Amino acid sequence: MLPIYIIRAIAMLLIIPAHEAAHAFVSYKLGDPTAKNYGRLTLNPIAHFDLWGALCMVVAGIGWAKPVPASPTRFQNPKRDMAISAAAGPVCNLLLAYFGMILLKLSDRAIVQLLFINIELSSVLGYVYLFFSVFVQLNISLAIFNLIPIPPFDGSRILLLFLPQKLYFAVMKYERYLMLAVFILVFTGMLDTPLYLANNFMIALIDRATAFIPMG
């Protein structure tokens, strides 16, 4: 199991900075430079690192980083722009999963072609295949997890578009308790089935979107 943890750690160093930097970039483009001013408009993992979130990502495949700061009053349309900046992280992960799936399929085809020519090189490519497999899975997992419509996840800011503002801020009062409840559900396995189904659905969707590259 050790190689899986190492591969997850390497993938995490690419995935989480991209997710957080996407939030910061879109917020900046929409008029809020807060995240940029705090040094979060970067792909440097150290700027986004959260110890417990990183450990959970490596061990369980679900994790988080330091939240990107935002000042809604700096947006021209706070309700809409907060939702757009929140969606930027999961959308970035889904795009990374899409390109990761392409590279996964290409590495699979290369392994098949090299299997009868150079076994050592094909075994090296086996690790490349495993990396992209983990890369795709972690990106999708992070995107789905963050789309949970409960504070402080990205999905809660998107939910603001569909809820009356008064009701939304009434829910936000219980942000800490809701977050704790979600993590209890995750670590007791009660969210395993819905997350598994959502992840598999998205993997199948991306697999179909990259059907122009057949496996093997």
By annotation, the residues acting in catalysis are: 20
Question: Are 102 and 137 contacting, i.e. CB atoms less than 8 angstroms apart?
Answer: no
SS3 of the chain: CHHHHHHHHHHHHHHHHHHHHHHHHHHHHCCCCHHHHCCCCCCCHHHHCCHHHHHHHHHHCCCCCCCCCCCHHHCCCHHHHHHHHHHHHHHHHHHHHHHHHHHHHHHHHHHHHHCCCCHHHHHHHHHHHHHHHHHHHHHHHHHHHHCCCCCCCHHHHHHCCCCCHHHHHHHHCCHHHHHHHHHHHHHCCCCHHHHHHHHHHHHHHHHHHCCCCCCC
Q: Are 96 and 139 in contact (CB under 8 A)?
A: yes
Cα 71 to Cα 79, 81, 106, 126: the distances in Å are 12, 11, 42, 45
What the block records as the tokens of 97 is: 């999963």
